[in-house]
Amino acid sequence: MVRIAEIASGSLGEALEMRIGTRVLSVNGAQVRDSLDFAFRTAETRLELETVDPAGATVVYEIERDLSEPLGIVPAADKIRECANACVFCFIDGNPPGARSPLWVRDDDFRLSFTYGSYVTLTNLGPRGLQRLVDQRISPLYVSVHATDPQVRNRLLGNDRAAPILDQLELLVNGGLQVHAQVVLCPGWNDGAELDRTIRELYALGDGVPTLSVVPVGLTRHNLNRPVRLLQAEEAERALAQVEAARDKAQSERGGAWCYAADELFLIAEREPPSAAYYEEAGLAENGVGALRAFLDDFEAGKDRLRPFDGLRRLRIATGRSMAPFMTRVAPEVAARTRAEVQVVAVENQYFGPTVTIAGLMAGQDVVPAVGEPREGDVVLLPAEALNADGLFVDGTSLADVERRLEPAAVRTGFGLPEAVLGSSGSSPPPCAGTKQAGP
């Protein structure tokens, strides 16, 4: 069942005098389970909608239409399907006490995976749920595999009842779906020989698994070493070698790299991020795979647009500790072109703790003390990745509050330095979903 939240002006729904709050029970005799199901079942020229209006009356609508005519019915947001696991590395368990309520939502919803690219485990879907994915061609999906060995995976997930992931993936792939896979690498749990096995068995599924991302585990001060620890440099180096071996095999046999290491894996190993060619057209930057290279290349492509402008005396670039060395690398170029003093401020994450170094999880409460006393002629540049669509940092601090506290400095946000310095703020990204994390 779905509830109508909006009816578009000039649409069939308006012409039929349908009402907001009406519940749609079935379409052409089939029960409607959620908004995605509604979209799938209403993609027909002839429709019979069984509904219950806000007054409790049952109304059946019979509709004949051309598919170019939209119904104009917008269902209310679905209740998020929550996670059935107790992952040993769950980032939500690392939230500070008192964190705002959206940060505690343990989403594991295949609908968000399909629509937003968030990673899910499939552990809350039984055989009928998996078959629905195939029947309705819900593809591509993004799946957190972590390990293909059932015992290892179940230990990582804290879920002894999880179905064997390879059986689930084979069903989806054989049904024509594409599944992008992810491994969150936890030293002593799913690295070494286990990572080799996971790479080998996912590769054997063929083109139905177009990418595999290997991402190092991220922990806060609130869940560090309980029971998972962070990777050491030599462990990251070994994992990079395993990824490279998989890439070489895929390149020679399939003509594409297939396997990708996250930016943080290179940073932990103290290696320079690879060139853009490494990432091909995988489109995994929102999972921290290639975001750093994209920044460096975008800056190089746009730096000629930097120029002096009235009132700018000092540019203070606030970012996470992972990104600070790369901002420092480009700072002389920014200074030369804007004729301003440029300072890079590495913001220590007090909210989550010093193990969290990415810009996307920079807390607003940490920005102001890190930036220090502002002065006339300052511009403070903040990463747009640290803000959600409502202009809030992860700790709930608003951008407006940061701007007020940093007066008389001007505060700007942006994905790219040239655009931000020139005054185009750029749009804020949507809130993080699932296990996907912003890049450095």
Complete DSSP assignment for 62-118 = EEE--TTS---EEEPPPPPPBP----TT-GGGGPPTT--GGGG--B--HHHHHHH--
Of the candidate CATH numbers 2.60.40, 1.10.3470, 1.10.510, 3.40.50, the domain formed by 296-422 belongs to: 3.40.50
Task: Reply yes or no on whether the pLDDT at 432 is more than 70.
Answer: no
Beta strands in 95-178 (DSSP E): 141-144
How many CB atoms sit inside 10 A of residue 87's CB? Answer: 23
Instruction: Report the share of the chain in percent with pLDDT over 90.
Output: 88
* Domains 2-75 and 91-289 alike in fold: no
pLDDT higher than 90, residue 421:
no
* DSSP-derived 3-state class of residue 316: strand
| CA separation, residue 132 to residues 129, 163, 172, 205, 261 (Å) | 5, 17, 10, 20, 32
- How far apart CA 430 and CA 424 sit, in angstroms, is 18
Question: Half-sphere exposure of residue 369, counting CA atoms within 13 Å on the CB side?
Answer: 8
Q: Of 336, 357, 339, 360, give the one whose Cα is nearest residue 348.
A: 357
pLDDT band at 377 (very low <50, low <70, confident <90, very high): very high
- Segment 18-44 shows an average pLDDT of 96
Sign of the CA dihedral with 155 first, then 158, 162, and 166 last: negative
423 band by pLDDT with thresholds 50, 70 and 90: very low
Whether the Cβ atoms of residue 238 and residue 208 lie closer than 8 Å to each other: no
Residue 437: per-residue pLDDT: 37
CB atoms < 10 A from the CB of 307, how many?
Answer: 11
Q: What gap in Å lies between CA 161 and CA 430, rounded to an integer?
A: 33
Fold of domain 91-289: pyruvate-formate lyase- activating enzyme (3.80.30)
Residue extents of the structural domains in the chain: 2-75, 91-289, 296-422
For residues 217-241, give the mean pLDDT.
96
Q: Strands, E, within 299-431: which ranges? A: 314-320, 341-347, 378-383, 410-414
Spatial separation of the C-alpha atoms in residues 24 and 271, rounded to whole Å: 55
Instruction: Give the tens place of pLDDT for each residue, 181-196.
Output: 999 999 999 999 999 9
Pairwise CA distance, residues 124 & 79, whole Å: 14
CB atoms within 10 A of CB 358: 26
Residue with tokens 């119904």: 71
Would you give the DSSP letter of residue 357? Answer: -
CB 382 within 8 A of CB 367: yes
Q: How confident is the model at residue 310 (pLDDT cuts 50, 70, 90)?
A: confident
Q: What is the pLDDT of residues 289-303, one digit of tens each?
A: 999 999 899 999 989
Q: If pLDDT is split at 50, 70 and 90, which confidence band does 307 have?
A: confident
So what's the pLDDT on residue 422? Answer: 53
Q: Distance between CA 239 and CA 245 in Å, rounded?
A: 10
pLDDT value, residue 200: 98
Write the CATH number of the domain with boundaries 2-75: 2.30.42.10
Helices 233-254 & 193-203 angle (0-180, nearest 10):
20
pLDDT digits (tens, 9 = 90+) for 67-121: 989 999 999 999 999 999 999 999 999 999 999 999 999 999 999 999 999 999 9
DSSP, collapsed to helix, strand or coil, labels residue 159 as: coil
DSSP-assigned beta bridge partners for residue 259: 212
Q: Is the pLDDT of residue 155 over 60?
A: yes
Task: Please give the pLDDT value at position 434.
Answer: 31
What is this structure's pTM? Answer: 0.89
pLDDT of 64 > 80? The answer is yes
Tell me how far CA of residue 337 lies from CA of 148, 180, 416, in angstroms: 51, 41, 15
Q: Are strands 314-320 and 341-347 parallel, antiparallel or unpaired?
A: parallel
Is the pLDDT at 427 greater than 80, yes or no?
A: no
